[in-house]
Amino acid sequence: MAGNTFGVPRGSVLGLLGPNGAGKSSTFSMMSMQTGKTAGHGYVLGRGIEDIDLENVGKSLSICPQYNSIWDRLTVDESLNFIARLKGISYLDRESNKKLILETLELVEFKDVRSENLSGGNKRKLCCAQTLILCPKIEYLDEPTTGVDPVSRRALLRMMKKLSDSAVLLTTHRMDEAEQLCNNIAIMINGRFVVYGTPSHLKRAYGHGYSLVIKQDAAQVKNFPLRTYMEKNCSNATLSNQVKLRDGTRGIEFHYKVELQFMGKGSRLSNMFESLSELLQEYNVIDFQFTRTTLEQVFIAFARH
């Protein structure tokens, strides 16, 4: 790791994305004071990470490690009580926070169940609950939804969105999760940030605009030359691939990359849909799909290089 500069203000989430071995966990470990740094500077709550007195400021920091850190013999309720007392949380704050967390994460019915008897998804939710009950100023979340089923994952995401007073450093392999939670995203390759910005900025600046897929009956290609129409009426669409389908429909898919400029009233997006509507009516087009570049496509493009 070298040459990376970033900050996470209160009330925001920074997501670290990258392939395995990119340096996400190393960054996470150094900023959460689990691993020492060899050079550079890191600051948490205005103090250098090498000078942090965890005995005094530990209540303001919380971490959800990549692997579950729970006590098998304690129930869900006992685990949360133990963490709260360990961090010096008052009884009223503990009960208030615990009620909100158990309800949001759908753990109420499991509050008296030992941790060892929970399902994998509920163990992960408990691990996150132990972190969230502190309402910390600094939150480190290392792949918090790993191994969690879709229902449990939605519950976790709802809870994370309630961290409006925390500065959150998040690592994840899920692009949809990063896009949903993060104010800013850093994509790491070989220990360095190769791109940094909001999800919308990354898609706009490093994506390929929009993707257009048009399906036409193969028997109609000669009678209704789609490529000629597109070159004439959609000059900002570039044909990237042509695929003959083998699904029994005798169709051909034309894949286009579309670059659009938004200039107020002269938006080309409306013009594009007018042209596509004409295609459906006059050129025997079966259907079309028009989608914006996804964050996952941007990530894959950087990871390949």
Of 80 and 37, which is predicted with more confidence? 80
Res. 32 pLDDT band, cuts 50 70 90: confident
pLDDT at 263: 39
pLDDT at 161: 80
Helices (H) and strands (E) in the chain, counts: 11, 12
pLDDT of 230-283, one tens digit each?
888 777 788 888 888 776 667 788 888 887 654 344 456 777 778 778 777 776
Q: What does the angle CA 201 – CA 61 – CA 76 come to, to the nearest 5 degrees?
A: 105
pLDDT of 212-231, one tens digit each?
888 887 777 777 777 788 88
pLDDT of 52-70, one tens digit each?
877 777 778 888 888 888 9
Q: Is residue 79's pLDDT more than 90?
A: yes
Q: Is residue 144's pLDDT more than 60?
A: yes
Residue located via tokens 């098998």: 72
Answer whether 0.85 is exceeded by the pTM: no
pLDDT at 266: 45
- Give the rounded percent of residues in the chain with a pLDDT score beyond 90: 18
In whole numbers, what is the pLDDT of the chain averaged over residues? 83
Res. 121 pLDDT band, cuts 50 70 90: confident
Instruction: Tell me how far apart the alpha carbons of residues 253 and 152 are, in angstroms, rounded to a whole number.
Output: 38
Q: CB–CB of 169/160 below 8 Å? A: no
Q: CB–CB of 209/260 below 8 Å? A: yes
Q: Find, among 63, 33, 62, the residue nearest to 50 by Cα.
A: 33
pLDDT of 158-173, one tens digit each?
878 877 788 999 988 8
Strands (DSSP E) contained in 119-205 are 138-142, 167-171, 184-189, 192-197
